[in-house]
Chains A and B, each alone.
Chain A
C-alpha cells in the first residue's frame, strides 16, 4: 500500500530544497540543472580553468533562462573569460544564439538586439546580456546605466569574480579590500586592495528603479534559478549579480569553488537579496553563520592577512565589520539567533 497521498503529504525530503535534484521530487520541483533535458547553453569542451565558477554560473543562469523563455533566447556577451573560454575559433561551446561585440558595450548591443527583434516581429525571443565584473562595473558601466535608464527589455547578468581575470587578475571596482591582484600586490603598509573603494553594482542598479535586481551565488542553485526565472517573467531592464569564485585568480583549490561561494554568503560578505523597483523585497537568510576568517582563509589572495605569527587582525576585523554591516542592513540573521 504505497499510499500516494502520504508520499505527497510528507513534503520533507532529506535534501529537499538544497541539492540540484532529488529523485523523490516531481520534475517541476527539481532544478533545471537536474533535468536530463536541460539545454546546456554552454556545453563541454570549453577552456575554462578547472573548477571555474563563471562557467558554472553562466550555465546555471542561461539554462534557467532558456527554460523560462521556452528556448527562445539570445545572449550577448562582453569580452572576458566567459567569452574567451567559450569561443576560441574554430569551436564554440554555446548552443544558443550568441553574440560578442566588444568589452564595454554588451548592454547596448543587447538593447539593439531587443529592439531589432521587436522590429522584426520576433517578440517571443528574449534577450540576455552578460559580462564579468570588469565589463559590468567598470568599462560597461555607462552602457549598463543607459540600458537600465531606458528600461530596455534586457536581463543583464554580471558574473562577479572580483577582478579582471581574463587579462591576468587585475583589480576592478568589484575587487574587495585587501585582496591581492596583479595591480594591487600584497606589498607595503596597505597590502592588497585598499579599503574605502569599490562599487556596489546591485544597489546602483536599484537606484535606476528598474523592475528587478537580484544577487545570486553559484552556491545556491535553487535560489539562482528562482531569481533568473522571476527575472525572465518580467519585461524591462533586469539585473542579476552572480557571485562566481575563480580558483586561478583567488588562489583557491578547484574543488572548493562552490564551498567558497557558500562561505561568502554565510559570513555575510555576499548578501543574497531581491529588489523590485528599487526596494529590497526579499533576502536570503544566513543558515549557518561563519566568521569571515573561514571564507578568507581558503584563498591565497588573502594569504597576507594570515601570515604565521603575524595575523593581520585589524584588517580581518575590518572585513568582518563589512560582513556585519551587510547582515544588519539586509537582516540576514533572524533576531533570536543573532548574538
Chain B
C-alpha cells in the first residue's frame, strides 16, 4: 500500500495521537512519595522495617539483613526480646492481624548467623578514639555504629562478660546464650577493643590522661530497689537481679526452698518466677499490688508465666512476714488508677521472697564530673543530642530518662553514635525530616489478599517447666516468607504495577525492575486514579501551580 493511494483523512496512521499532548488538561499531578510506615515510626531502634521486609519477601534474606543492621546490629537478639511496638502500630492489624515483624527479624538474624554474614564497613578511619562504658545493648550499639562511622572504639565493661542485662537479666529460655554470643562477637569482631572486668571510675582521666576524643556511658540500672516489710524471723529475702545474675553465672544454684513469692509486676518479676519454676520450686507465686491491666510486664509474659504454673496474686501488698506466713492486704484500683488498701487480709505461705521492684542507676562515679546532672534515682540527664552537661560525654540506655528496653537502648546507642560522630567532626547531627505518616486511610486495602498470621511454635510444656531451653521457636523459611509477604508496604512503592496498568492514558512509565515508575506529564490528564488505586498510598495528587 503506497502512501499516495490511501484515502485522505478517513484512514490514519497508527498511534498518531501521540502528537496530542493531553497533559495540558491537568489541574493536579500525581507524585510518587515515600511515606513513613507506622512500624518504622514506632521502632525505638529506628529500623526501616518495611524496607527489610521488602527484601525478605523477595527471598533476598542477605539484603534484608544488611538493610536491618544498618540500624540494629543484633537482629537475632532483637527478634527474640523486643517488645515490638512496631506490631502494635502495624496497619495490617486493622485489616486482620499485624505482621509478625519480630518473627521475621529473628528468622533473618538466625539466617545471618547460619550463613556467617557480616556487616559491610566502608567508612574511612576518622582518626578519633571513643570510649564506651558498659557492654550492654546500648554500649554495644554505640560501639558498632561508631565503628561503622570510622572511629576507633574501646569498650570497658565492669563485668566478666559483655551483654549487660541481656545476659544477666533476660533468662536463657527467652534468649539462648549462643545467639547472644554470636551477635556480640560479630560486633566486637569489627575491630572494637573490649576490656572486660574493667570498671570505669574516672571520666576526666579518660579524656585527659587517656586522650579519648569522646565518651559514651551506658552503665544501665543495676541497683535493686528495696521496700520495708515488717518481718519476724523472716525466711530468705533476695533481689531479683542478683538472683538472675547468680543463675547466669551458675556458681551454686540459689537456695529457694519449696515455695517462692516474687514481689512485683514487671518483666523481671515474671522472669524470676519462671526461672524459679525451672529451678524446681513447687510453687512460684507473684504478688503484685495492681491488676493485670496496670502491670508493666507484657501481657504475653504474664500469660506464659501462668501457662508454666506461676500463680499471680493480683491486687495484693505484703504487709508482714512471720516465718513462712505472708500477710497480704487486698487492694483496689481507685478512679485515678492507683491501688488503695481495702483493709481485707489474707495469708500466703512461702519459703523465699524475691523482690522485683525495679532498679536504680549507680551513677556515683559521675557525681564528680562537672556539668553532669543526676536525679535522685541516679538517672542522668542528657540533651537532645544524647550529651550530658559535660562536653563530649554522652549517655544512653537504662541510665537516662526513657523506657527501659533493649530496643530503646540500641536506639540510644545509634543516636548517640551519630551525635558523637557529628560532634567529633565539629558539627551537629541533623535528623532527616520525618516523612508524612502512611496511615491506614492512605491504603487501598482492596488489593491485599486475606492472609492469617503465621504463628511460632512453642516448646512443649513439660520441657518449659523443667529446663532453660528456648520456649519460642523460630519460623520456618516458608512461614517467614509468608509473613514477610503479608507486609502491606505502607507508603512505599513495591512495584505492584497498579499505577502502570490502571492509567486510562498510559501516562505511567514503567522503569523496570527495581526502578519503580514515573509519570509521563505529556499525557497525564491528572485524573487521580493511580493515587486512589495505589494499594500502599505511595502516590499523592499535588495541584498544578497555574
In the complex, A touching B, CB below 8 Å? yes
- The CA of A17 and the CA of B510, in the complex, are separated in Å by 20
Closest to B505 in A: A44
User: Are B60 and A2 in touch, CB under 8 angstroms?
Assistant: yes
Say yes or no: A43-B506 contact (C-beta < 8 A), given A10-B481, A90-B9.
yes
User: Are B13 and A34 in touch, CB under 8 angstroms?
Assistant: no
User: Are A6 and B481 in touch, CB under 8 angstroms?
Assistant: yes
Give the total number of A-B pairs whose CB atoms are below 8 A apart: 197
User: Are A15 and B449 in touch, CB under 8 angstroms?
Assistant: yes
- The CA of A198 and the CA of B487, in the complex, are separated in Å by 45
User: Are B501 and A45 in touch, CB under 8 angstroms?
Assistant: no
Closest to B61 in A: A2
**Closest CB of chain B to A333's CB: distance in Å?**
15
User: Are A19 and B481 in touch, CB under 8 angstroms?
Assistant: no
Closest to B487 in A: A14
- Beta-carbon contacts under 8 Å, B496-511 to A: 496-498, 500-507, 510
Interface 0/1 of B313-337, CB less than 8 Å to A: 0000000000000000000000000
A262 in contact (CB, < 8 A): yes
- The CA of A10 and the CA of B104, in the complex, are separated in Å by 15
Chain A contacts for B525, CB-based, 8 A: 50-51
User: Are A18 and B446 in touch, CB under 8 angstroms?
Assistant: yes
Say yes or no: A33-B500 contact (C-beta < 8 A), given A3-B59, A14-B489, A91-B20.
yes
- Among the listed stretches A227-235, A252-260, A300-308, which one makes contact with chain B, having 4 or more residues with CB under 8 Å of it? A252-260
User: Are B532 and A30 in touch, CB under 8 angstroms?
Assistant: no
Say yes or no: A3-B523 contact (C-beta < 8 A), given A23-B494, A46-B17, A91-B16.
no
Closest to B450 in A: A287
User: Are B477 and A18 in touch, CB under 8 angstroms?
Assistant: no
Say yes or no: A92-B17 contact (C-beta < 8 A), given A10-B482, A44-B22.
yes
Chain B contacts for A119, CB-based, 8 A: none
Closest to B528 in A: A255
User: Are B58 and A33 in touch, CB under 8 angstroms?
Assistant: no
B19 in contact (CB, < 8 A): yes
- Beta-carbon contacts under 8 Å, B441-497 to A: 446-449, 451, 477-478, 481-482, 485-489, 494-497
**Closest CB of chain B to A30's CB: distance in Å?**
7
User: Are B496 and A22 in touch, CB under 8 angstroms?
Assistant: yes
User: Are B15 and A20 in touch, CB under 8 angstroms?
Assistant: no
A52 in contact (CB, < 8 A): yes
- The CA of A256 and the CA of B527, in the complex, are separated in Å by 9
**Closest CB of chain A to B26's CB: distance in Å?**
8
Pick from B12, B21, B111, B504 the residue with the most CB of A within 10 Å.
B504
Closest to B54 in A: A23
A53 in contact (CB, < 8 A): yes
B294 in contact (CB, < 8 A): no
User: Are A255 and B20 in touch, CB under 8 angstroms?
Assistant: no
A24 in contact (CB, < 8 A): yes
A44 in complex: contacting residue of B477, B478, B520, CB < 8 Å: B520
**Closest CB of chain A to B55's CB: distance in Å?**
10
Residues of chain B at interface, number, CB under 8 A? 66
User: Are A91 and B487 in touch, CB under 8 angstroms?
Assistant: no
**Closest CB of chain B to A47's CB: distance in Å?**
7
**Closest CB of chain A to B383's CB: distance in Å?**
42
Say yes or no: A44-B18 contact (C-beta < 8 A), given A254-B527, A257-B527.
yes
**Closest CB of chain B to A113's CB: distance in Å?**
16
**Closest CB of chain B to A43's CB: distance in Å?**
5
User: Are B12 and A40 in touch, CB under 8 angstroms?
Assistant: no
A258 in complex: contacting residue of B18, B506, B532, CB < 8 Å: B532
**A: contact size bracket:** 35 or more
User: Are A258 and B486 in touch, CB under 8 angstroms?
Assistant: no
Chain A contacts for B451, CB-based, 8 A: 12, 14
User: Are A12 and B446 in touch, CB under 8 angstroms?
Assistant: no
- The CA of A6 and the CA of B482, in the complex, are separated in Å by 10
**Closest CB of chain B to A339's CB: distance in Å?**
19
- The CA of A255 and the CA of B528, in the complex, are separated in Å by 4
Chain B contacts for A40, CB-based, 8 A: 506
**Closest CB of chain B to A216's CB: distance in Å?**
15
A56 in contact (CB, < 8 A): yes
**Closest CB of chain B to A53's CB: distance in Å?**
7
A286 in contact (CB, < 8 A): no
- The CA of A21 and the CA of B1, in the complex, are separated in Å by 39
Chain A contacts for B301, CB-based, 8 A: none
- The CA of A3 and the CA of B12, in the complex, are separated in Å by 52
User: Are A92 and B504 in touch, CB under 8 angstroms?
Assistant: no
- The CA of A90 and the CA of B115, in the complex, are separated in Å by 63
Chain B contacts for A30, CB-based, 8 A: 497
- The CA of A19 and the CA of B517, in the complex, are separated in Å by 15
- The CA of A130 and the CA of B128, in the complex, are separated in Å by 74
- The CA of A40 and the CA of B507, in the complex, are separated in Å by 11
Closest to B497 in A: A21
A19 in complex: contacting residue of B22, B111, B485, B496, CB < 8 Å: B496
User: Are A7 and B481 in touch, CB under 8 angstroms?
Assistant: yes
Closest to A97 in B: B14
User: Are B512 and A21 in touch, CB under 8 angstroms?
Assistant: no
Interface 0/1 of B65-89, CB less than 8 Å to A: 0000000000000000000000000
Say yes or no: A18-B449 contact (C-beta < 8 A), given A51-B527, A55-B504.
yes
Pick from B17, B446, B532 the residue with the most CB of A within 10 Å.
B17
User: Are B512 and A93 in touch, CB under 8 angstroms?
Assistant: no
Interface 0/1 of B1-37, CB less than 8 Å to A: 0000000011011111111111001000000000000
Which B residues form the contact surface with A (CB < 8 A)? 9-10, 12-22, 25, 57-62, 111, 114-115, 446-449, 451, 477-478, 481-482, 485-489, 494-498, 500-507, 510, 512-513, 520, 522-523, 525-529, 531-533, 535, 541
Knowing that A19-B497, A20-B497, A33-B502 touch, tell me 9 more A-B residue pairs with CB under 8 angstroms: A15-B496, A18-B447, A33-B501, A43-B17, A45-B17, A89-B9, A89-B10, A257-B504, A257-B529
The 10 closest A-B pairs by CB, nearest first: A20-B501, A21-B497, A255-B528, A45-B17, A33-B501, A51-B527, A44-B523, A19-B496, A50-B527, A45-B20
Which A residues form the contact surface with B (CB < 8 A)? 1-4, 6-7, 9-10, 12-24, 30-31, 33-34, 36, 40, 42-48, 50-53, 55-56, 59, 86-87, 89-96, 221, 247, 253-259, 262, 287-288
